């Protein structure tokens, strides 16, 4: 089937939710969802664990028919009065789009002191990155980001969409979810290779806050290598550049590097935590110039964004948090694929590295050696 004719059957991420997470990364303090009370409930609740308040205009049947302009104006004013936020976001929904609500008119009428990022969005887009783009466009309009950062983000979003269409959750009409390989078995294989003197590359190529758990795999592999006396056989790549990304994203990189400081050395920085779709280019160049003779690679985060030609000849151990990513990775040639199934909820609202299941398994097996 041609890619352009694909009609994806399995559920996909929502543009509304993507907009909410982008507002969080822009350090918005309160986000207003203009729609029904249950819209995006799960993610709204998770975001509250990450320090952003999410409220709703709670449109009901009357609002669906007669509109919710007055309710949105009232909510904007209530938010400023109750929370005194320095930055506010307003996010549209499918309902507000269908009934033709104009978020900007309500924002102008509310006449708030704080800047408001207006995101006219719904969940009907094929690519959830639309929600990110719309939020960034609005942030640009109100002066929260500059043109250079907007264009950088736009490029990254295009690349992220391309990666997903080629090798990710949008690559096939239907992808069966899978829990991947058994962590105990794969951990034994990693220790076996270390004991045999094999050389490995540990690549952290994670998306934003998910790095709080994926980074634990870098630390666990280092700890095991030290225990076995082969730490010089492991090199660590990580997309932890603290100078790149939206404010919250840079903070994540700073926190993770601070946690790693006394425990593990990052040999190569391959980009920022929002550069996971393009970090593979840097990985390719580094391996070609310095690490061609390595035997295996452990890749955590977004493994499918690393070009396979860069990893030629290596045994690949990949860790994702997406059950639908297992089969595409296997099809690409990744021998071992693991899933950290509850990763995302555990990495919201934290400022320190969180232990992963695979990391815990590696440590336990090393203790038993």
DSSP tag of 26: T
- Burial tier of 357 (Cβ tally within 10 Å: 0-12, 13-18, 19+): buried
Q: Is 318 found in the same domain as 208? A: yes
User: Do 98 and 211 share a domain, yes or no?
Assistant: no
In DSSP terms, 235 is beta-bridged to 201
What per-residue confidence (pLDDT) applies to 122? Answer: 93
Token pair for residue 218? 């870098």
Q: Is residue 266 part of a domain?
A: yes
Inter-CA distances, 291 with 91, 95, 114, 287, Å: 46, 53, 51, 4
Structural domain ending residue among the three candidates 97, 128, 144: 144
Number of structural domains in the chain:
2
Domain-located, residue 346:
yes
Nearest partner of 90 among 105, 114, 74, 107, judged by Cα: 107
Residue 298 lies in a domain: yes
Would you state the pLDDT for residue 5? 61
DSSP states of 250-275: HHHHHHHHHHHTTT----EE---TT-
pLDDT at 264: 93
Distance from C-alpha of 91 to C-alpha of 119, rounded to nearest angstrom: 5
Sign of CA dihedral 136, 141, 144, 146: positive
pTM of the predicted protein model: 0.92
- Reduced to 3 states, what is the DSSP secondary structure of residue 302? coil
Q: Are residues 119 and 198 in the same domain?
A: no
Its domain, for residue 337, covers 181-366
Same domain, yes or no: 224 and 323? yes
Token pair, residue 365, equals 């097996």
Task: Evaluate whether residue 126 is within a structural domain.
Answer: yes
- Encoded tokens for 80: 């400023």
Considering the domain architecture, whether residues 261 and 337 belong to the same structural domain is answered as yes
Contact 3, 14 (CB under 8 A): no
For the record, the structure tokens of 145 come out as 């980001």
Structure tokens at 329: 């990775």
What number of helices (H) and strands (E) belong to the chain? 15, 10
DSSP 91: E
354/215 same-domain check: yes
Same domain, 341 and 291: yes
Beta bridge partners of 301: 205
138 with 262, same domain: the answer is: no
Single out the residue in 117, 144, 171 at which a domain terminates. 144
Q: Does the residue 157 lie in any domain?
A: no
In a domain, 166, yes or no: no
Q: How far apart are CA 286 and CA 271, in angstroms?
A: 13
Which residues are CB-contacts of 252 (< 8 A; sequence separation ≥ 6)? 208, 209, 211, 212, 273
In angstroms, the CA 176 to CA 198 distance is 34
| Same structural domain, 140 and 253 | no
Task: Please tell me whether residues 189 and 93 are part of one structural domain.
Answer: no
* 200 strand-pairing partners: 234, 296
Q: Do 109 and 37 belong together in one domain?
A: yes
pLDDT in tens, the chain (369 residues): 344 567 888 888 899 999 999 999 999 999 999 999 889 888 889 899 888 999 999 988 887 887 789 999 999 999 999 999 999 999 999 999 888 899 999 999 999 999 999 999 999 888 889 999 999 999 999 999 999 999 999 999 999 999 999 998 888 899 999 999 999 999 999 999 999 999 999 999 999 999 999 999 999 999 999 999 999 999 999 999 999 999 999 999 999 999 998 789 999 999 999 999 999 999 999 999 999 999 999 999 999 999 999 999 999 999 999 999 999 999 999 999 999 999 999 999 999 999 999 999 999 999 997
pLDDT for 66? 76
In a domain, 200, yes or no: yes
- CATH code for position 223: 3.40.50
Same domain, 71 and 195: no
Last residue of a domain, one of 144, 165, 193: 144
Look at residue 173 and tell me if it is in a domain.
no
Assign residue 131 the CATH number of its domain.
3.40.50.1980
């Amino acid at each position: 089937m041609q890619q352009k004719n694909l009609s994806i059957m399995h559920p996909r991420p929502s543009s509304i939710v993507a907009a909410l997470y982008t507002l969080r990364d822009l350090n918005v303090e309160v986000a207003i969802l203009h729609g029904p009370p249950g819209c995006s409930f799960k993610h709204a609740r998770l975001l509250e664990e990450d320090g952003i308040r999410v409220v709703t205009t709670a449109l009901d049947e009357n609002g669906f028919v007669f509109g919710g302009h007055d309710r949105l104006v009232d909510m904007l004013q209530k938010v400023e009065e109750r929370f005194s936020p320095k930055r506010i976001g307003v996010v549209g929904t499918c309902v507000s789009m269908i009934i033709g609500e104009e978020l900007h008119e309500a924002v102008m009428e509310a006449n708030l002191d704080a800047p408001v990022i207006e995101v006219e969005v719904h969940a009907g887009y094929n690519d959830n990155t639309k929600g990110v783009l719309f939020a960034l466009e609005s942030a640009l309009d109100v002066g929260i980001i500059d043109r250079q950062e907007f264009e950088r983000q736009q490029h990254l979003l295009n690349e992220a969409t391309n990666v997903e269409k080629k090798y990710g959750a949008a690559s096939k009409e239907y992808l069966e979810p899978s829990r991947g390989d058994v962590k105990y078995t794969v951990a034994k294989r990693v220790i076996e290779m270390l004991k045999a003197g094999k050389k490995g590359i540990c690549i952290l190529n994670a998306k934003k806050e998910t790095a709080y758990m994926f980074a634990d795999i870098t630390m666990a592999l280092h700890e095991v290598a030290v225990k076995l006396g082969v730490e010089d056989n492991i090199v660590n790549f990580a997309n932890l550049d603290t100078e790149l990304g939206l404010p919250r994203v840079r903070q994540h990189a700073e926190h993770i590097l601070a946690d790693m400081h006394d425990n593990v050395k990052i040999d190569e920085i391959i980009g920022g935590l929002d550069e996971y779709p393009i970090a593979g280019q840097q990985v390719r160049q580094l391996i070609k110039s310095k690490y061609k003779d390595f035997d295996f690679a452990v890749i955590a985060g977004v493994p499918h964004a690393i070009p396979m030609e860069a990893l030629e000849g290596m045994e690949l151990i990949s860790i994702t948090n997406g059950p639908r990513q297992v089969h595409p990775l296997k099809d690409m040639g990744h021998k071992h694929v693991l899933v950290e199934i509850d990763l995302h909820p555990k990495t919201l609202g934290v400022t320190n590295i969180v232990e992963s299941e695979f990391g815990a398994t590696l440590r336990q097996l090393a203790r038993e050696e």
